């Protein structure tokens, strides 16, 4: 169900964008609504089948609360497109690099989708009110400054749903920033640890080499000393000269 869910997520995102930005009327509005409903049904069917096939349904339910949120909260539905990233098997070539690269890709994709989905939702919620967010570019700008927790204050939602959305968007931005910071920190620690291990290994190798050299020199000195002692203790081979000879 991976690819069907990805396709359903893209269909939902496109239909929802069409509804909010394009504001279709008549038959086009019915088509957009039908696409949203169909994509929602795909996620509902996947959730029900997965729950039915689970060995321990209660344990599966507790560990798949995000899937339930995808069904209950239409805003989160586009985030299921992140599951398409699992097709990038190239990340599995090396363990450390694969894990870190996968985290970075998930983070970048989640950030982009979070900003886009939040912009659509806040525009849909704020349209028709006295809010300054009355166009999609304004909504994108608001989503960016909110997810980064900058908050210039030039635009702010006035509806209740818009303010709730702003709270979750700020929390999501803090969480994504934490993931990026943690990933960068782990990379720095791993790099420093690798360099330290390499330097330590080189130092140990040099010490072993010096010890072997000292042992060889000591053995040679001992040998030379033994030869010199042997030569001094042996009688002279020359006969002493007789007087007057």
Share of the chain above pLDDT 70, in %: 67
pLDDT of residue 36: 83
Per-domain boundaries in the chain: 1-87, 92-219
Is pLDDT above 80 for 160?
yes
Asked whether the beta carbons of 98 and 92 are under 8 A apart, the reply is: yes
Confidence of residue 142 (pLDDT cuts 50, 70, 90): very high
Asked whether the beta carbons of 64 and 52 are under 8 A apart, the reply is: no
Overall CATH class of domain 92-219: mainly alpha
Question: What is the token pair recorded at 65?
Answer: 């609360």
Angle between helices 2-17 and 27-53 (to 10 degrees): 150
Distance, in Å, from the CA atom of 158 to the CA atom of 176, rounded to the nearest integer, reads: 26
pLDDT of residue 201: 58
**HEC readout, 1-53:** CHHHHHHHHHHHHHHHHHHHHHCCCCHHHHHHHHHHHHHHHHHHHHHHHHHHH
Q: What is the pLDDT of residues 72-97, one digit of tens each?
A: 766 555 544 444 444 444 344 444 44
* Residue 234, burial from CB neighbour count under 10 angstroms (0-12, 13-18, 19+): exposed
Angle between helices 2-17 and 95-126 (to 10 degrees): 30
pLDDT of residue 66: 73
Q: What is the pLDDT of residues 58-68, one digit of tens each?
A: 998 888 887 77
Spatial neighbors of 185 by CB under 8 A, at least 6 apart, are none
């Amino acid at each position: 169900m991976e690819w069907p869910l990805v396709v359903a997520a893209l269909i939902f995102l496109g239909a929802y964008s069409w509804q909010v930005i394009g504001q279709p009327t008549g038959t086009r509005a019915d088509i957009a609504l039908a696409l949203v409903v169909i994509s929602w049904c795909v996620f509902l069917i996947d959730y029900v089948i997965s729950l039915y096939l689970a060995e321990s349904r209660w344990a599966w339910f507790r560990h798949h609360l995000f899937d339930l949120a995808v069904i209950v909260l239409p805003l989160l539905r586009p985030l299921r497109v992140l599951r398409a990233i699992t097709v990038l098997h190239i990340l599995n070539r090396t363990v450390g690099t694969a894990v870190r690269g996968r985290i970075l890709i998930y983070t970048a994709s989640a950030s982009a989708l979070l900003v886009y989905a939040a912009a659509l939702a806040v525009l849909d919620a704020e349209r028709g009110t006295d809010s300054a967010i009355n166009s999609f570019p304004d909504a994108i700008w608001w989503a960016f400054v909110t997810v980064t927790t900058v908050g210039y204050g030039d635009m702010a939602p006035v509806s209740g749903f818009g303010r709730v959305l702003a709270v979750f968007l700020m929390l999501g931005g803090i969480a994504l920033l934490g993931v990026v910071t943690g990933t960068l920190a782990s990379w720095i620690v791993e790099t420093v640890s690798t360099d330290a291990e390499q330097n330590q290994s080189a130092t140990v190798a040099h010490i072993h080499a010096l010890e072997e050299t000292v042992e060889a020199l000591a053995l040679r000195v001992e040998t030379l000393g033994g030869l010199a002692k042997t030569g001094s203790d042996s009688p002279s081979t020359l006969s002493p000269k007789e007087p007057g000879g």
